[in-house]
Amino acid sequence: MSDVTRLLSAIEQGDPRASEELLPLVYRELRRLARHRLDRERPGQTLQATALVHEAYLRLVDGEEAQRWNSCNHFLAAAGEAMRRILVENARRKQAEKHGGGMERQDLDGIDIEAPAPSDDLLALDEALKKLEAEDSVKAQLVKLRYFAGLSEEEAASVLGLSRTSVQRYWRYTKAWLFIELRGAEAREKNPGNSVHP
């Protein structure tokens, strides 16, 4: 049993010291996941990799919400999902602010306005993932593992308990499905009165 697996088991049992010991062992890999995820974000993302790692880590090892992880890959997949949720929450918050949440009306004469970086793509992807999850939860989980957690085909196959061939087939399908779904969402956004589906 690796040190990571032993510590994950100790966290599950409620050992408060285990989470402190685990962070140095997985920090580099969590930073890699965070960097991978943030590199896919549009310019203007205000979250830094370190903040994303720490927020995700706290969500994973919180004593009240601690889960059972089968392996280090399983833990990293959960970390990728936690990071995805954090980024989606951040995008929703920015979207609410962009649409006037907490703002006061002011005269704009003589004021330079800087447009916020759009976070619509991440929100559209989140909506598409929810739709895919309702249709096929395994394929939705595969997207989270490959796209958000940055796992390889082999790692994702191990976490999902599938063959690499199945993962490759599912991955080809979900990429095409998401492309069509996101293109349809973009068209519906441009023409809200038109309810044509992809």
Domain boundaries, the chain: 3-103+116-190
In whole angstroms, give the CA distance from residue 8 to residue 22: 8
Amino acid at 179: F
Q: In the structure, what pLDDT confidence band is assigned to residue 167 with cuts at 50, 70 and 90?
A: very high
- pLDDT tens for each residue of 64-86: 555 666 777 888 888 888 888 88
Contact (CB, 8 A) for 176 and 198: no
In the chain, the percentage of residues whose pLDDT exceeds 70 is 74
Q: Tokens representing 20?
A: 């402190």
Q: Give the pLDDT of residue 191.
A: 63
Helix-strand-coil split of the chain, %, nearest 5:
70, 0, 30
Q: Which is it for the CA torsion 88, 90, 93, 99, positive or negative?
A: negative
Classified as helix, coil or strand, 180 is helix
- Residue 118 is given by DSSP the state P
| CB-count burial class (<10 Å; 0-12, 13-18, 19+) for 126 | middle
- Per-residue pLDDT for 159 more than 80? yes
Token pair listed for 60: 């994973």
| Residue 136 pLDDT level (bands cut at 50, 70, 90) | very high
Question: For 114-123, how does the pLDDT look when each residue is reduced to its tens digit (9 = 90+)?
Answer: 333 344 577 8
Structure tokens at 150: 């940055």
pTM of the predicted model as reported, rounded to 2 decimal places: 0.54
Q: Tell me the C-alpha distance between 59 and 175, whole Å.
A: 29
Instruction: Considering only CA atoms, give the Rg of the chain.
Output: 19
What's the CA gap between 198 and 195, in Å, rounded?
10
Q: How confident is the model at residue 58 (pLDDT cuts 50, 70, 90)?
A: confident
Q: How far apart are CA 84 and CA 78, in angstroms?
A: 10
Query: Looking at residue 114, what is its pLDDT?
Result: 39
Distance from CA of residue 107 to its chain's centroid?
38
Model confidence band, residue 102 (pLDDT cutoffs 50, 70, 90):
low
